[in-house]
Structure 1
Amino acid sequence: MDWDEIYELEKQSGASGSGTSFFNPSSGAANTTGNTSFTRVLGDLDADDPMGLNEDAADAVDKDREREKERRTRNFVEEEELEATPLERLTRAWVNERHAPDILPAEEDLLAGLLDHLRLQARNVQILRDDPQTSESEHIRIMLVQTELERVKYVVRAYVRTRLYKIERYARWVMQDEEVQRRLTAGEREHASRHAKLTDKHLYVSVLQSLPEAQAHLDDTPVFYPSMITQPDKNRPIFVHALKDCPRVRLPDGAPLEMKKGHISLTPYHVVEQLLARGEVELV
């Protein structure tokens, strides 16, 4: 059966009213309803919209995208504004102090606040331990609190020990530089002064008093020789982690370095010294 015969059969079927005809839209109620619905749907579609969306639907999609973008931006800002705990801040200061060749500004207020909190918690723990009404489960919680206190004490001692090591190593340089002295606490300045005097006295008694007067000095600056006073090496390479998008800095060879948030670089300390002072990077 060819297409002509099929066409003739369809015409006869439409004329007799028996059944519906694909070629005759007016034949059959079901076919009429289906074609009318299809025509209505086609009329609702925007001819210029390949996705089949009208203007209202497209506007709704755009608004949903804008709301989602605003939500993500708001969540990002909230995460950025979350303040670190005092222990996290001191831990970061300790790590920075360990890796920086220079003596960084002392976190005096932060350290004092943590020490006050440690004393308060230790007193509360002792009161609960001495209380005969304290239950066994409460004693277990007290042990957990004591463990946390010891962890905080370790970070505090490590931070102070790191600073004292640098102060003793560069004591004479510290006492000659007022800008460095302003980074220290009153106790650290006093310790640096005493250590410098004791070191000078020991060197004089051990060696210098036996040398000619012209050579019995510790502050000579001979030409083409390094200084006799030990100073931090700011050209030492360090690993630095960007906490936010940082402004462009210049490397010793003249090449620019622009660090985005999360970027880790190996660079001389003096290149990122100001970024570290502003809290835009941390040392790792």
Structure 2
Amino acid sequence: MSGIDVNDILEEFETTSRNEISKSLYSENLYEELITAMINERMSPELLPYKKELLNQVLRRISNQQQDLLDSHEYGEINAESGVVSTDFKLQLMIIETDIERFNYLVRLYLRTRLTKLDKYTIHYINETVGNGKILLSPEEEEYIDQHFKILTKLYNNCFLKKMPSSLTLLDDTTGGQSMIEIPDTESHVFIKSITKSTIFVTLDDGEELNIENEGIYVVKYSSIKRYIEIGDIVLI
């Protein structure tokens, strides 16, 4: 292969790498959105609606970057001995790898947080998602919670429920003034921050009105500001 051909290939790959760095900078908005979704999920006492569009964008970006990184590494290995692979090129690949890892970490944390809530409030979220048209779970989460409940029911039956009267074996029994279904405590207090320029007015339990200003940080009941979290005017911190 001639020197000109090598230089052409090098220029093409380094241009691609520079484009990937530009994409990484451009992806900061996507990264910030993912951080917000993850923190909201972790700080919320209940399961929030699954961020389908955001996760699709993030996973598509991770997949594209992984493929670009694989192609770039193959090029680097082929041309390592020729000395045409610059230090800048290697640094750019490291930046891309770091970008992939930070997105992967946030996605895992987001999904694990949701699975923890599904494990704890299994029956509650089965009831919440059956026939109400509300997109709360991803298809994978729906399958997970269904299988989790089946395993849980089988375990309890084998351990002790089969020895009890049939009237006492229902895991979703709500009779007798005592519910067997554990539900999230939406009346708990949370730390919030307003990210909208408009003032938000929240009525407190004592009848007084709280004015939530832009960039202000407050401690309020989750149930009082839930709808503002869903529309994105308030974030949890």
TM bracket, shorter-chain basis: 0.7 to 0.9
Alignment partner for residue 136 of structure 1, among 87, 95, 98? 87
Could you report, residue by residue, the CA deviation over 1:163-193 in whole angstroms, capped at 9, with x for unpaired residues?
Answer: 1111222121111123486211111111111
Alignment partner for residue 124 of structure 1, among 46, 68, 76? 68
The letter of the residue matching 2:158 is: V
1:162-181 mapped onto 2 (5 Å cutoff) = 162-178=113-129, 179=132
Structure 1 length as normaliser, TM-score? 0.67
Count of residue pairs brought into register by the alignment:
201
**d(CA) in 1 for partners of 2:32 and 2:100?**
14
- Is it true that 1:267 corresponds to 2:211 in the alignment? no
* 2:200 alignment partner, SS class: coil
Could you report, residue by residue, the CA deviation over 1:10-68 in whole angstroms, capped at 9, with x for unpaired residues?
Answer: xxxxxxxxxxxxxxxxxxxxxxxxxxxxxxxxxxxxxxxxxxxxxxxxxxxxxxxxxxx
**d(CA) in 2 for partners of 1:94 and 1:151?**
13
Q: Which has the larger Rg? A: 1
**d(CA) in 2 for partners of 1:214 and 1:119?**
51
Aligned to 1:65: none
Alignment partner for residue 49 of structure 2, among 102, 105, 121? 105
Q: Is the 8 A contact 1:246 1:280 kept in 2?
A: no
Measure how far apart 1:223 and its partner are.
Answer: 4.0
The letter of the residue matching 1:124 is: D
Give the superposed CA RMSD.
1.8
Could you report, residue by residue, the CA deviation over 1:96-123 in whole angstroms, capped at 9, with x for unpaired residues?
Answer: 0000011111111111111111111111
Question: 5+ residue gaps in structure 1?
Answer: 1-82
Aligned to 2:100: 149
Q: Percent identity over the alignment?
A: 27
Aligned to 1:115: 59
Q: Which structure exhibits the higher relative contact order, with contacts defined as CA atoms closer than 8 Å and separated by 6 or more residues?
A: 2
**d(CA) in 1 for partners of 2:203 and 2:57?**
38
* 1:102 alignment partner, SS class: coil
Structure 2 length as normaliser, TM-score? 0.79
Question: 5+ residue gaps in structure 2?
Answer: 1-26, 80-84
Q: Is the 8 A contact 2:30 2:58 kept in 1?
A: yes
Aligned to 1:208: 161
* 1:218 alignment partner, SS class: coil
Alignment partner for residue 229 of structure 1, among 181, 193, 200? 181
Alignment partner for residue 183 of structure 1, among 136, 139, 143? 136
**d(CA) in 1 for partners of 2:46 and 2:133?**
9
Measure how far apart 1:84 and its partner are.
Answer: 7.0
Aligned to 1:18: none
